[in-house]
Amino acid sequence: MSKQVIAVILGGGAGTRLYPLTASRSKPAVPIAGKYRLVDIPISNCINSGINRMFVLTQFNSASLNKHIKNTYHFSIFSSAFVDILAAEQTPDNPSWYQGTADAVRQSLRHLNQHECEYVLILSGDQLYQMDFQKMLQNHKDTGADISIATIPVVAREASDFGILKSDENNLITSFIEKPKKELLPDWSSDTGEEMHAQGRDYLASMGIYIFNRKLLNDLLLDVYKDCTDFGKEILPGSLENYKVASYQYDGYWTDIGNIYSFFEANLALTDEIPPFNLFDNSNAVYTRARMLPPAKISGTTLEKAIISEGCIINASRIEHSVIGIRSRIGYGTTIVSSYLMGTDYYETIEEMTHATERGLPTLGIGDRCYIKNAIIDKNCRIGNDVRINGSDQLENTDHSLYTIKDGIVVVKKGAILPDGFVI
């Protein structure tokens, strides 16, 4: 089965809506759930679906993504499996960077066409979901489709953020509109099934997951739509008349991590008693870099709905509704509420801690007697003692050299140093 399909994972644009998390890394390299990176999700879905040849397309800040993939995805030398990064490159016949999703795939075709396959699976690098692509592929074959689009029912409030489509009784797509305005929505509702209707999820949204017959993909990108740059806005709506485009309705958990608020919510939702995204699934493992870290060490801390990653040293008084990332160090008397700490990339030695203190710098991690609520603390921050960070809707959106505030969430920037007594 794996020989039939090659997956192409789109790394996304500059990721401005996820700034400042994307200031020094590409969107797929943003850390999630304490120990993974966003790109681990589509790659793991592929591996769990028996698809083990993947290209990851990227163009912005790709150094940390390259390093992560190189250190993580090693396959047997006897298999044809690979995860390769294709960074946007200037060539004599194409001097520009990727102009959109379709243009990115077009520029990568010469690498893709060196491998035999019948189908090309196109995925986004910034979504959180668990999906068996073999079921989608089987549906693609059963309907005799040229193109398949994975769809998910959404409520009216969300519909304007997506490409919305309508399909006939054979699940073939008849019409498609990209990000419809509110007043157009009444014409775009679909029969999504009883259970979905009960939740008010009446609109079929494109998930940005596509299967193309390989020959057709080449024809569309190099000939029919050779000047078009985007799948959702141009190529898919234009293909409905001449090709069979099938809808594959997915009813599981799926979230598009497009902005700081959705990123924050998706991470904190993992602390729920029965989280919508199941990290504890025997048959759907999420793969990431094996770091060989020690177990977490916790002393005197009350934990309530918390995820603690490996390698942490925690003396906090209370951690509630929070995700604590790898190698996090949290001092005495500190309270963390509804926050995501990404952790650190290395440990400080006792000598380095002493040296930092002598220079008046806080040590790596979170100091003593701090109060942190509604915050994202990026990697390798030094937060002193008695620091108060209290995110809320009352705070105005702002961008400071040390932190950014968006939608009431305080994002402390990677490597920031907050001195003792600092208040946000």
pLDDT of residue 180: 86
Q: Residue 392 belongs to a domain with what CATH number?
A: 2.160.10.10
On whether residue 397 sits in a domain, the answer given is yes
Q: Examine the domain organization and report whether 221 and 318 are in the same domain.
A: no
Q: Examine the domain organization and report whether 98 and 184 are in the same domain.
A: yes
pLDDT of residue 203: 92
Q: How far is CA 242 from CA 145, 170, 235, 236, 410, in A?
A: 12, 17, 11, 11, 49
Q: Examine the domain organization and report whether 241 and 355 are in the same domain.
A: no
Does residue 318 carry a pLDDT above 90? yes
**57 or 368, which is more confident:** 368
DSSP structural state of residue 397: P
pTM: 0.92
Note down the domain range covering 332. Answer: 297-418
**345 or 125, which is more confident:** 345
Q: How far is CA 271 from CA 80, 211, 276, 366, 397, in A?
A: 37, 33, 10, 21, 26
pLDDT of residue 54: 94
The structure tokens listed for 375 are 């915050």
Which residue from 333, 280, 286, 365 is spatially nearest to 32, judged by alpha carbons?
Answer: 286
Spatial separation of the C-alpha atoms in residues 98 and 254, rounded to whole Å: 26
> Which residue type sits at 204?
L
**212 or 160, which is more confident:** 212
pLDDT of residue 107: 85
On whether residue 289 sits in a domain, the answer given is no
Asked if residues 122 and 252 have their Cβ atoms less than 8 Å apart, the reply is no
Confidence of residue 186 (pLDDT cuts 50, 70, 90): confident
pLDDT of residue 91: 56
Asked if residues 222 and 94 have their Cβ atoms less than 8 Å apart, the reply is no
pLDDT of residue 93: 59
Q: Kindly state the average pLDDT of the residues 237-251.
A: 91
* Dihedrals phi, psi of 336, to nearest 5 degrees: -120, 125
Spatial separation of the C-alpha atoms in residues 27 and 121, rounded to whole Å: 20
pLDDT of residue 92: 55
Asked if residues 277 and 292 have their Cβ atoms less than 8 Å apart, the reply is no
Among candidate residues 250, 269, 288, the one where a domain is terminated: 269
Q: Is beta strand 173-178 parallel, antiparallel or unpaired with respect to 163-167?
A: antiparallel
Question: Helix H segments across 160-213?
Answer: 194-198
Q: Kindly state the average pLDDT of the residues 88-108.
A: 71
Q: Kindly state the average pLDDT of the residues 178-207.
A: 88
Spatial separation of the C-alpha atoms in residues 374 and 340, rounded to whole Å: 8
pLDDT, averaged across the chain: 91
Q: Examine the domain organization and report whether 231 and 356 are in the same domain.
A: no
pLDDT of residue 329: 97
Long-range contacts of 305-311 (CB under 8 A, 24+ apart): 305/271, 305/272, 305/273, 306/271, 307/33, 307/34, 307/270, 307/271, 308/34, 309/34, 309/35, 309/343, 310/35, 311/343, 311/347
Q: Kindly state the average pLDDT of the residues 148-157.
A: 92
What does the pLDDT look like over 357-390, one tens digit per residue? 999 999 999 999 999 999 999 999 999 999 999 9
Spatial separation of the C-alpha atoms in residues 92 and 287, rounded to whole Å: 37
Q: Residue 168 belongs to a domain with what CATH number?
A: 3.90.550.10
Q: Roughly how many angstroms between the first and final C-alpha of the chain, as a whole number?
A: 53
- Of all residues in the chain, what percent carry a pLDDT higher than 70? 96
On whether residue 76 sits in a domain, the answer given is yes
pLDDT of residue 192: 87
Among candidate residues 233, 252, 269, the one where a domain is terminated: 269
pLDDT of residue 103: 84
Confidence of residue 89 (pLDDT cuts 50, 70, 90): low
Asked if residues 418 and 402 have their Cβ atoms less than 8 Å apart, the reply is yes
Q: Examine the domain organization and report whether 212 and 260 are in the same domain.
A: yes
Split into its structural domains, the chain has a count of 2
Does residue 8 carry a pLDDT above 80? yes
Q: Examine the domain organization and report whether 247 and 317 are in the same domain.
A: no
On whether residue 288 sits in a domain, the answer given is no
Among candidate residues 254, 269, 284, the one where a domain is terminated: 269
Asked if residues 381 and 417 have their Cβ atoms less than 8 Å apart, the reply is yes
Spatial separation of the C-alpha atoms in residues 299 and 193, rounded to whole Å: 50
Q: Examine the domain organization and report whether 191 and 143 are in the same domain.
A: yes
Q: Where is mean pLDDT largest: 8-12, 98-102, 288-292? A: 288-292
Does residue 12 carry a pLDDT above 80? no
Q: Examine the domain organization and report whether 65 and 186 are in the same domain.
A: yes
Q: How far is CA 246 from the centre of its chain?
A: 25
On whether residue 88 sits in a domain, the answer given is yes
Calculated CA dihedral for residues 144, 147, 148, 153, nearest 10 degrees: -120
Q: Examine the domain organization and report whether 97 and 210 are in the same domain.
A: yes
Confidence of residue 303 (pLDDT cuts 50, 70, 90): very high
On whether residue 370 sits in a domain, the answer given is yes
pLDDT of residue 95: 54
On whether residue 287 sits in a domain, the answer given is no
Long-range contacts of 322-326 (CB under 8 A, 24+ apart): 322/268, 322/271, 323/33, 323/34, 323/267, 323/268, 323/270, 323/271, 324/34, 325/31, 325/34, 325/35, 325/379, 326/34, 326/35, 326/291, 326/293
